[in-house]
Amino acid sequence: MTGLERTLNALVASRSSDYGIAVLDLRNGSAASVKGDIAYPMASTVKLAIAGAYLTDVDHGRRSLSDMIAGRSAATLMELMIVRSDNHAADLLLARVGGPAAVQQWLSSNGISGIRIDRNIAQLLRERGHLFDSKDVATPNAMVSLLYKLNSGTLLTVESRSLLFNLMSRCVTGTRRIRALLPAGTRVEDKTGTLDGVTNDVGFINMPDGRRLAVAVFAKGGRDRQVGIAQVARVIYDHFADLGRNALTYFMELK
């Protein structure tokens, strides 16, 4: 994966924004990163942790997706939070599970470090200085660790994983980020995050050979961050597509 890291470093070095990138091949565990252990503002990518904490309660019978919260079902709020990144829906679900401290405890109890949750979304938006914030941050490697565990079955049941990934596949706020430059028909399940000067996208890219990639791209400062994220995702896609083609060629030669 050092070749991929060199290509990604060269790409982001030519851009004005500060990028943190992590990618994990869920098939064989190979990984690459750029500033993978540097903390970046999460913005709304934190909503994946909120969803995970709530769905864990559902799986253990402590809550239900049919529970009514402020006049709407938890299922409706979950859809709004993930598909449309609705901040009010996120804060309602966050409050129901016990607030930021409860989600932080959920992360810690599941062995996920490098993610810090301090405020609800309304509090986060009221404050300024997000580019230099030490609160509500995550490293790219930590976010990929969360994605890995959400996918692995160690955190959620099959039903809850299926629900969450289906919602992520319908994300309408990320069409110009990870998805933008990938080949038509590529399945992506993602969650975006946006603040003043901050543009993020994290999730899964599904490759033609069945390989599944967990990807986190955080960008802050500079210009054209959405274009940068799209280019990063395409570099990652092309790297693994080449691996798949090379493996197929090798297999055919063996035959």
Q: DSSP string of 207-234?
A: -TTS-EEEEEEEEESSS-HHHHHHHHHH
What's residue 177's pLDDT?
Answer: 98
Identify the pLDDT of residue 250.
42
Look at residue 1 in the predicted model and tell me its pLDDT.
Answer: 81
- Count the neighbouring beta carbons within 10 Å of the beta carbon of residue 154: 10
Distance (Å, whole) CA 180 – CA 39: 25
Residue 68 CA to residue 64 CA, distance in Å, equals 9
pTM above 0.75, yes or no: yes
Return the pLDDT at 252: 45
CB 142 within 8 A of CB 149: no
Q: In the chain, which stretches have pLDDT less than 70?
A: 244-255
Residue showing tokens 């009010």: 88
What is the edge-to-edge ordering of all strands in the sheet holding 31-34?
31-34, 18-25, 212-220, 198-206, 188-195
Q: What's the pLDDT score for residue 247? A: 52
